[in-house]
Structure 1
Amino acid sequence: MNSENNTKKREKKDTELPLFSYESVLAATNNFSAVNKLGEGGFGPVYKGKLLRGQEIAVKMLSKRSGQGIEEFRNETILIAKLQHKNLVRLLGCCIERDEKILIYEYMPNKSLDFHLFDPIKKKMLGWETRIHIIEGIAQGLLYLHQYSRLRIIHRDLKPSNILLDSEMKPKISDFGMARIVGGNETQANTKRIVGTYGYMSPEYAIKGLYSIKSDVFSFGVLLLEIVIGRKNTDFSNSDSLNLLSYVWELWRNGQSLELTDSTTGNPSSTSILSRFINIGLLCVQESSIDRPTMVDVVSFISNEYAPIPIPKPPAFRIDRNTTVVNVENCSRNNITVSIMEAR
């Protein structure tokens, strides 16, 4: 009994978050009604709720079937409690009662980016200007994590489903269960357990377990190109291209950038803007992490249209006519896995 009490005290101290009672969470979600269920991932189900004072919330439950879910829970609460930025989802509190581990977030009425981006009807809400603002917001949030937060954070699972959209379609990075803290002067670490989502992992991480701020930059580059083109990176199984990166690279280097525009976005104000964003995306997904820009550079490229941009080298995971740069069969295909936070 004392051990259980000590565990709860330690968790309460670690989270530094308001603690919600289980009864209040039940009331907010109407006893976790199926009508209020927003979705479910490897962590567990997510429900929409409403507090007594009228505030709408998203309630994320730890699934009892999640093998390392308690560590992921602790990871997320410890990290997000210390992070404050307009482009990061806000954690309002947690509940640690009746063997339940529950996170309470601000509710995002427009759901996740992938809900819109890859749907032939809903993607029409994402005009060119909206997509640019979403890219800018994600870049600012990632810059904060890498450069300006009290802790240097590597997210490790940046993808459209982890980008939530508020009522004004402004993006917020979510899901820090796989994130890692590195020391103030550190930019790289390694792990024996590869986690993340196939299609967004950098080659050095997927194959060697090396992760760094440049791993997040790679994921951001994939995400940027998906937003601009309107297609998933892995949605090329029936084409000559291995993935979106290979497809974009071939057209871009042949001066055919206009063919890459998502027809539902409307035309950008100038073709140079489209080409510039594709150039930035390709810089981020270069095979070598050394060649990729930092998020400081990326934000500068995005915000200053007159800043010169380097010519990118070929991207990772591409297939040319005579060469396969990276054999993707050697890469992890984990869609949802969990890591344990280790402060370094």
Structure 2
Amino acid sequence: MDNGRRGTPDFILLVLTFLLVGFGIVMVFSSSSPIASFYQQDALYYTKKQVVFAIVGLVAMFFVMNMRIEKLKKWISPINFTIIIMLVFVLFTEPLNGARSWITLGSFGTLQPSEFAKIGIILYISALICKKGEQFRDFKTGLLPVLVIIAFVSGLILIQPDLGTAAILIFGTLLVVFVGGANLKHLFGILTVSLGVMSLLLFLLTKFETTSTAINIRLSRFTSYQDPWSDQLGSGYQIIQSLYAFGHGGMTGAGFGQSIQKLFYLPFPFNDFIFSIIAEELGFIGSTIFLMTYLLLLWRGLIISIKSTDMFCTLVGTGIVGILAIQALINIGGVTNAIPITGVPLPFISQGGSSMITSLISVGILLSISRENNRLSK
């Protein structure tokens, strides 16, 4: 019988989260202080904002951690309805950096609804798959409605345009669909068609001129990935400066606070390119330790998800781990020029409120699942 008591949260996951958040704040300070001093006359300007974001995120994390999964399920529809409203609303706002992805919140900063959409859609799709049960393996009545929802939400994000976040959402939800027991033939066919359509669209955009500044910016990122040195002062400038940072860091790094690229060479080094500064200051060894910590957090989250006897918890946990892993891979792959730059933040590390808060809420859900696991194991 359920006596109402809950188990303890996963201690390892909790400690790893605090370590990454703390390390992120330290690296935001190191990477942003020269720019903050020059433009804001306050070396701690971005660091103080990041501390506030971390506090808000940690409060949200502890709130969600103490919420029962059954209670969380009741909030899924209102949460997603609010997110959809924000995704539509943001399309009518003034563009920022070539995209309509943010809602301005005055002096506090901006809110990026697409970051919250990643969590919302994972929760909604997981609940829908559990509700359909065995019917989910049927394409027309099971899988198709799920795909329509994924396409609708990702489409709203794509037209902002935000290719990186849309890709994270699509691959993260497809992972949930796979774990949920979808027919592999259906998934393979969908993936093949999707990749074909995306490749054709990219080919057509590169062959024909477009008047959209936002699209042109993203196309320039793709062409600079192929050969950044072909336009060293234009589209290739940022990735070249990022690669210089990795080269300067070498094996042991230049030392904390000793980055050269953050001195107005690498634009906004405390956001999407913060891993470049980590590599420059801490070197290959420090970067490897950081990545191992990251992998350990993801592994712990996956173990918590697999151990759950509740299918909904397994799907949500797997989706959250998948989204965090995919986002980190896209960010690190972009700054190392392994893949085209898409402009997504590094979870827990990059300066920014929406990313920090949603990442910590995600961990809060995993901790809630771990509490349920530990309660049942007693």
Structure-2-length-normalised TM-score: 0.24
Richer in strand (by share):
1
Q: Which has the higher contact order (CA 8 A, sep 6+)?
A: 2
